[in-house]
Amino acid sequence: MSESLRCDAVVVGSGAGGAPVAAALAEAGLDVVVLEAGARIETRDFSGEEGEMIARLMTANSARDSGMEVYAGACVGGSTVVNDALCWHPPPEILASWRRDFGLAGLTETAFAPHVDRAWRTVNASPTDREHLNRNAHQLEVGAARLGWSAEAMHRNVRGCANLGLCNLGCPSGAKRSALVSWVPDAEARGARVVPLARADRIEVAGGGVRAVQATRLDPRTRQPVGALRVEAGAVCVAAGVLGTPALLLRSGLGAGTALGRGVQFHSSVYVTARFPEPVFGFYGPTMAYAVTEWSDVNGHRGPGFMLESVTVAPSVTASSLPGFGAEHERVMEALPYLARAVVVLRDRTRGSVAIDRDGAPALSYQPVAEDLARIREAVKQLARLYLAAGATEVYLPVNGIAAVRSEADLAALDAVRFEPRALSLLYAVHLFGGAAMSASRAQGFCDESGRAFDVVGLYVTDAAALPSNTGANPQITIMANALRIAAGIAAARGGRRSDEVSAR
């Protein structure tokens, strides 16, 4: 079956960079269609079962050169449905570096402020109180306090959090204000049409401007093609994520003479797990809530550029990230209720790229530079020190072949390891940036500071792919605010005209 629609603006992707744009453009009076490759899974369908929900809500990819894993949401609401609800304002140092290094003079704190406020309010970013700091977060707090390190409870976008510990599985109580339960219904209330299981394949360009988006309708069960959809519009906002956005633009034959696909950057992450003599029950309560900021290099900190953040010990993700096999792995997993865990969130210096393979699917290259590997080693050491200071009896480092650490002296073993991605039990990222970035120059980006593609009228990039670098702090609010900022420019330029034609053939 082949269908066609016509509207004012097509938004491709419904995550942090897509759904706010749909809401803002619909509010401005534009007729909006959102194409989302993933299924629409509502709160009532979030079963809380790890295997089922991860498979239904998420997608995994890996870098061809380093094997580094990247995870993202693949459903209506995108990664916000599976994320940990942590919220930070855009760090001022990051906005300053975008102005200085990418010529984005308009990206001031003042320009961002109304959009940050709107994002903050819409998703109800709020301080995390004691009732929502579980013992897992508490161990990080205790260790940091004993070492005199700066640390804080993070803001979370929740309302009435029931402490279930299932934030990565969609939040079955509906407390987490993901895009699925905030921006998407806001957009729909203003007339936007959200089409799930519609994968954008190609953007049609004619006479130097966008004309339409061609998409494939997917079967909800098999994800195999079941039809075609063409949506005609004078504006196309691409928000398919850091892998999906460059891939769609490259499949469309766009970006010649620009940095499309280049400049991709992550927050690289590894886990450190610690065993305590008393139960921690780290699988209950918010999946993430507390951060050690001592080593950060944003928000006024002058460290080497990493944060240490408490993270759930949900069974399958803990098992799959612990080093080792067989009886030793089983011994650690048997102690699950006694385990605390935290994740290193590194502000990478590495830059990678996204190309497309023969099938047009994203092909990621990301080879961590030596400086980043050295900083990961340092972060792992500091986190292990913290857990020992907090009273851990054993600390499990994310490095294959290293014995559990029981004292600071044992950490010397780390220095003997050739620190490279494949030596680590799991090196991954969920904070992805760039690939179709804003910049004043084609050599550095794909679009200008309004998100407008350099060479195609009516084409915008509004998601994390538009950000010229990583942010040094969990990025969803920065992505939403930037998307709203770009949407405000689109709405102003189009004057809120509407076209109501819908046709099918």
By annotation, the residues acting in catalysis are: 431
Instruction: Candidates 46, 56, 80, 171: give the one binding ligand FAD (CB under 6 A).
Output: 80
Distances (CA, A) of 252 to 213, 311, 365, 456: 10, 39, 20, 12
Binding ligand SF4 (rule: CB under 6 A), the pick from 87, 142, 164, 307 is 164
Q: 């047009």: which residue's tokens?
A: 360
Instruction: Identify which range of 140-148, 203-211, 237-245, 386-394 contacts ligand FAD by CB under 6 A.
Output: 237-245
Residue 445 has, within 13 A of its CA and on its CB side, a CA count of: 27
Site for ligand SF4 in 269-288 (CB under 6 A): 286
162 interacts with ligand SF4 by CB under 6 A: yes
Of these partners, ligand SF4, ligand FAD, none, which one is at the site of residue 239 (CB under 5 to 8 Å by kind)? Answer: ligand FAD
DSSP letter at 360 equals S
Of 464, 481, 487, 491, the one binding ligand FAD (CB under 6 A) is 464
| Euclidean distance between the first and the last CA atom of the chain, given in angstroms as a whole number | 9
Give the integer Cα–Cα distance in Å for 32 and 7. 6
Name the residue nearer to ligand FAD (CB basis): 80 or 321. 80
Residue 179 in contact with ligand SF4, rule: CB under 6 A: no
| 79 makes contact with ligand FAD (CB under 6 A) | yes
- Residue 286 interacts with, from ligand SF4, ligand FAD, none (CB under 5-8 Å by kind): ligand SF4
Q: Which of 248, 291, 384, 427 binds ligand FAD (CB under 6 A)?
A: 248
Strand, coil or helix: 349: coil
- Sheet containing strand 125-126, edge to edge, reads 86-87, 155-157, 125-126
164 binds, among ligand SF4, ligand FAD, none (CB under 5 to 8 A by kind): ligand SF4
Give, in order, the Cα–Cα distances in Å from 494 to each of 21, 179, 462: 14, 25, 17
DSSP string, 321-345: HSS--HHHHHHHHHTGGGEEEEEEE
Interaction mask 66-95, ligand SF4, x per CB under 6 A: -------------------x----------
**Residue list 418-437, contact with ligand SF4 (CB under 6 A):** none
C-alpha to C-alpha distance for 246 and 434, rounded to whole angstroms: 9
Q: How many CB atoms lie within 10 A of CB 320?
A: 9
> H-helix or E-strand containing 486?
helix 476-494
Residue 239 binds ligand FAD (CB under 6 A): yes
Taking CB under 6 A as the rule, which mask of x and - marks residues 12-31 in contact with ligand FAD? xxxxxxx-------------
Give 297's Cβ-side CA count (13 Å radius).
15
Q: Could you list the residues that contact ligand FAD (CB under 6 A)?
A: 12-18, 35-38, 71-75, 78-80, 82-86, 168, 199-200, 239-241, 244, 248, 288, 430-431, 463-464, 474-476, 479
State the residues that interact with ligand SF4 by CB under 6 A: 85, 158, 161-167, 171, 173, 175-176, 286
